[in-house]
């Protein structure tokens, strides 16, 4: 009787393994079961995708990065495109793989991916496009938003705030988000309607766009350093009867604002040595207090 029980258990285990293998082969297939192109997504669908992309990093983790938010962005479009349950499952499984892209221009990629999903491209092809565009979009996004748009908008807002205007932070948020949301929604529609034809254009001009935006961003940051970093010394050097003011008679003659520049370069050097922003803020406060007490600043 025990022998029969063992045989039945082995048979049940074999059936279970066969079922798992069959399910795995179905999930990992490259072609969709329903290969007929789907109906085009509407403007409402694309706008909904753009709104949902705001939660791209809501479930950020170090294993799959933005995968949860990425799938959340695409789910309404995928449900409309894939009518066959297995096709929807295969697509969702693929989109839960590792992805890390800039959160502001991600809608270009999501629109492009939905266009490819609607055309029922191979799953491996869609995966390859995702992987190929993560890097370029990240570089363009960093150059356009963090190095260019953010310093310009923050500079305008800070300038108003320093003059005592309560509209400083409001103007900053208004200008920044007008550009941000304009690009977020515009890129969603452009990526979807351009489809794969946009790949060649993006690959051709990625370096040019990033280089131009980096130049503008570095110029703006240089101007902000000269305008908003204030650092001077009251030290006076005595040589016999002559007195020389270190700041006005020496440093300003060499280069105006040389102390703010040196301080900024030191902070940058410390950042390259993996100092956190919190530590740098603390060191800046400590340097200012100590420098004032000893009469250096």
Q: What is the pLDDT of residues 132-144, one digit of tens each?
A: 788 778 878 887 8
Q: Determine phi and psi for 292, rounding to 5 degrees.
A: -70, -40
Mean pLDDT to the nearest integer, 264-279: 82
Residue 3 confidence (pLDDT) above 50 = no
Cβ atoms 251, 235 nearer than 8 A? no
Specify the residue for token string 């390259």: 272
User: CB under 8 Å to 260, separation ≥6 — which residues?
Assistant: 225, 226, 229, 230, 231
Cβ atoms 237, 244 nearer than 8 A? yes
Residue 272 confidence (pLDDT) above 90 = no
pLDDT tens for residues 173-205?
Answer: 999 999 999 999 999 998 888 875 655 555 555
pLDDT at 162: 84
Calpha distance 73→232 (Å, rounded): 50
Residues facing residue 245 across a β-bridge: 236
**pTM attached to this predicted model:** 0.64
- Who has greater pLDDT, 257 or 15? 257
pLDDT at 212: 62
pLDDT tens for residues 90-123?
Answer: 999 999 999 999 999 999 999 999 988 988 888 8
Q: What is the mean pLDDT of the chain?
A: 80
Q: Determine phi and psi for 93, rounding to 5 degrees.
A: -65, -45
Calpha distance 197→206 (Å, rounded): 15
Three-class secondary structure of residue 295 per DSSP: coil
Percent of the chain at pLDDT exceeding 70:
78
Structure tokens at 82: 């894939």
pLDDT at 16: 52
pLDDT at 207: 60
Mean pLDDT to the nearest integer, 201-215: 58
- Who has greater pLDDT, 78 or 149? 78
pLDDT at 116: 87
Three-class secondary structure of residue 39 per DSSP: coil
Q: Determine phi and psi for 100, rounding to 5 degrees.
A: -145, 105
pLDDT at 270: 85
pLDDT at 22: 44
Work out the angle at residue 291's Cα, subtended by the Cα atoms of residues 290 and 297, and round it to the nearest 5 degrees. Answer: 155
pLDDT at 217: 60
Calpha distance 64→162 (Å, rounded): 42
pLDDT tens for residues 117-133?
Answer: 988 888 888 888 888 78
Structure tokens at 281: 């803020």
Structure tokens at 33: 């079961």
Calpha distance 74→111 (Å, rounded): 9
- Residue extents of the structural domains in the chain: 43-227, 232-293
pLDDT at 95: 94
Three-class secondary structure of residue 54 per DSSP: helix
> 12-28: b or e for each residue (b if 16 or more CB lie within 10 Å)?
eeeeeeeeeeeeeeeee
pLDDT tens for residues 286-295?
Answer: 888 888 888 7
Calpha distance 295→290 (Å, rounded): 8
Taken in order 110, 116, 117, 123, is the CA torsion positive or negative?
negative
Calpha distance 49→53 (Å, rounded): 6
């Amino acid at each position: 009787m025990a022998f029969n029980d063992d045989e039945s258990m082995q048979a049940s285990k074999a059936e279970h393994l066969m079922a798992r293998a069959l399910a795995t082969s179905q999930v990992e297939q490259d072609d969709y079961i329903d290969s007929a192109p789907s109906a085009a997504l509407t403007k409402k669908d694309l706008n909904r995708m753009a709104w949902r992309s705001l939660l791209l990093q809501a479930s950020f983790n170090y294993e799959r990065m933005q995968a949860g938010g990425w799938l959340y962005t695409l789910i309404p479009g995928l449900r409309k495109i894939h009518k066959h349950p297995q096709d929807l499952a295969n697509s969702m499984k693929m989109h839960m793989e590792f992805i890390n892209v800039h959160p502001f221009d991600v809608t270009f990629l999501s629109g492009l991916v939905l266009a490819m999903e609607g055309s029922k491209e191979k799953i491996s092809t869609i995966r390859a496009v995702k992987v190929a565009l993560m890097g370029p979009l990240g570089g363009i996004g960093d150059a356009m938003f963090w190095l260019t748009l953010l310093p310009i908008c923050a500079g305008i807002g800070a300038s108003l705030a320093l003059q005592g205007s309560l509209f400083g932070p409001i103007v900053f948020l208004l200008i920044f988000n007008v550009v941000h949301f304009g690009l977020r929604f515009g890129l969603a529609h452009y990526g979807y309607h351009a489809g794969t034809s946009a790949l060649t254009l993006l690959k051709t001009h990625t370096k040019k766009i990033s280089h131009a935006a980096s130049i503008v961003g570095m110029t703006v940051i240089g101007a902000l350093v000269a305008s908003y970093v204030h650092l001077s010394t009251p030290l006076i050097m005595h040589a016999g009867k002559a007195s020389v003011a270190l700041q006005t008679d020496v440093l300003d003659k060499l280069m105006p604002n040389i102390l703010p520049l040196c301080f900024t370069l030191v902070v940058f050097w410390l950042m390259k040595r993996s100092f956190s922003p919190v530590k740098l803020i603390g060191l800046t406060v400590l340097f200012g207090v100590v420098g004032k007490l000893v009469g250096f600043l």
